[in-house]
Structure 1
């Protein structure tokens, strides 16, 4: 672990390799699990505002879940998440012709309909950020369904921090990322 500003960063972001391999996993991270994707407080208004624009990119089941539960939910523990379809996959999920899961929000973004890519927690994955009162912990999340991504990352020699560069800059800023690159260079 090392400190960058008000963050404590796991060395796994530098030591571990990762590149999503959607042809192998089929987007399982949007399907598996017991909860929706974490949503930040400031993303709530954005999700409400863009919902009419992203609705055409969503499946009927997702639309129904969102219209019944809302564009986000609050758990019993007070955490904000995307709603789920029947307690399973994310309500914002979309599938391409090959049956690979994707994000309807990101589909709308890629089509130029909206300027919000997707919740930052999704964009950052496999990086997870836990906010505390004085700092944020920035960690690599190892999930067996992403083993193919680890293998591909190792083949291509792409460390987690490089794979998630755009998302890390979105979350922490360019200066923070430049400092992370310096630490990575010193560690190699």
Structure 2
């Protein structure tokens, strides 16, 4: 574990290599799990604020589930999460013509309809963030790719020699800021000397 301020980062974030290979995994992380996408409390307000702008990008099934379950729900294990369709795909997910699952929130963002890209937990995957039970100001950043689903991403990362923290540069900056990311890069450089 490495530390930057109150964040404890697993060595794998700097040592392992990863690049999503959507043509192989088809965005399976958006439907393979025990709950919807974990959300931070401030993101719940964004979802309420922008739902009408996101809705045109959603599937009929996704809209039905949001109307039935709500825009988000509380899970005992994961906290606030997005609803899912039949315990599978995220209600905000849809399949494109190649069968790749895309995010309605992200598509609305890409089209300039909102200023929120998608839940941070999705943007940061395969890093999962957990708060310390003893000290809520301490966060653990762990590299946790899905064993089968992410094999292609791990292979592509190795082939292209892209460390996890480099692949996730934008999302790490989005979550913690430029200063944190620069410190992370400096740590990685120091470790590789």
SS in structure 2 at match of 1:89:
coil
Flag the 1:110–1:78 CA change in 2: closer, same or farther, 3 A.
Answer: closer
Residue in 1 aligned with 2:141? 138
SS in structure 1 at match of 2:29:
helix
| Gap regions ≥5 residues in structure 1 | none
Residue in 2 aligned with 1:26? 26
SS in structure 2 at match of 1:118:
coil
CA drift of 1:77 comes to: 4.4
Task: Say if 2:14 and 2:164, in contact at 8 Å, map to a contact too.
Answer: yes
1:11 aligns with 2:11: yes
Deviation readout 1:18-46 (Å, 9 max, x if unpaired): 00000001111001112111000111110
1:169 aligns with 2:186: no
**What's the Cα RMSD here?**
1.0
| Gap regions ≥5 residues in structure 2 | none
Residue in 1 aligned with 2:191? 187
Structure 2 distance, partners of 1:111, 1:29, is: 23
CA drift of 1:120 comes to: 0.4
In the TM superposition, structure 1's runs of 4+ consecutive aligned residues that sit over 4 Å from their partners are none
Q: How many residues align?
A: 188
Question: TM-score, with normalisation over the residues of structure 2?
Answer: 0.95
